[in-house]
Amino acid sequence: MRVWKYGDDINTDMLFPGKYTYTCSTAEEIKPHLLEDLDGEFAGAVQAGDIILAGKNFGCGSSREQPALGLKAVGVEAIVAKSFSRIFFRAAINQGLLLIEAPAAVEAFREGDEVQLDAANGNIRVGSEVFSFPGLPPEMMAIREAGGLLPYIRRKLADGRGKA
């Protein structure tokens, strides 16, 4: 498991360049360009179970969902940031990607620290310190637990559109 550490205001153009927005839409098309203009090493080296740690306003800018879709597809376990921009936050829930707002945990991280996540109990260990984070409201948790928004609404649709 590797921790990828970035700064404040990581925008969606850095996470996935706008020039590919209308030619790359599937996970396989997105993966090679993830974080292309931010960290050239990331797309080739990221592995399932890795964690991204970042500063404030992560995911600001465009509503493009390729960053959330791609990071979920390569198996990023969670993004831990001081704060997230709202459209990215929504996109991540809709993809079933785990976002954790834990400013103190991000502050505490030093290069080489081990990071362990216990999402079920709302805890994250950074080095020797443990930080807790609040859970999602039930409405959003239901979407994430269904594996994303589309699986979630398919269940509702199967029960009769507009109900539930």
Partner 1 sequence: MGMTFAQKVLAAKSGQKRVEVGQIVTVRPDHLLTHDNTAAIIGKIEADLEQYGVVRPDLNIIVLDHVIPAAAEKNAAGHKKIREFVEKYGLKNFFDVGEGICHQIVLEKGFARPGGLIVGSDSHTCSYGAVNCFSTGVDRTEAAALILTGETWLKVPPSFKITLSGRLQPGVSAKDFILSIIGKLGADGANYKAVEFQGDISGLSMDDRISMANMGIEMGAKIAVFPVDETTREFFRQIGAPLKQDEFVQADAGAEYEKKFSFRLDDVEPVIAAPHTVDNIKPLKELEGLPIDQCLLGTCTNGRISDLARAATLLKGKKVSPHTRLLVLPASRTILSQAMKAGYIQDLLEAGAVLLPPGCGPCLGAHQGVMAPGERTLSTANRNFKGRMGCKEAEIYLAGPETVAASALHGKISDPRKEVSP
Q: Which residues bind partner 1 (CB under 8 A)?
A: 9, 11, 13-14, 17-19, 21-23, 25, 36-37, 56-57, 60-65, 68-69, 83, 85-87, 90-91, 94-95, 137, 139-140, 148-150, 153-154, 156-157, 161-162
Supply the DSSP symbol for 7. -
97/124 with CB nearer partner 1: 97
Whichever of 9 and 77 has its CB closer to partner 1, that residue is: 9
Give the residue from 128, 102, 104 showing the smallest Cα distance to 115.
128
Classify residue 99 as exposed, middle or buried by CB count within 10 Å of its CB (0-12, 13-18, 19+).
Answer: buried
If the CB atoms of residues 62 and 123 are measured against partner 1, the closer one turns out to be 62
DSSP single-letter state for residue 159? T
Q: Whole-angstrom Cα distance, residue 23 to residue 19?
A: 8
Residue 134 beta carbon to partner 1: minimum distance, rounded to whole angstroms:
12
Q: How far is the CB of 86 from partner 1 (least distance, A)?
A: 5
Please state the closest distance from residue 91 (CB atom) to partner 1, in A.
Answer: 4
Sheet of strand 78-81, all strands in order from the earlier edge strand to the far edge = 3-5, 51-54, 78-81, 99-101
Nearer to partner 1 among residue 130 and residue 164 (C-beta): 164
Smallest distance from partner 1 to CB 68, Å: 7
The least CB distance from residue 73 to partner 1, in Å, is: 13
CB distance 88 to 60 below 8 Å:
yes
Question: Residue 15 in contact with residue 67, Cβ under 8 Å?
Answer: yes
Q: Which is nearer to partner 1, 5 or 56 (CB)?
A: 56
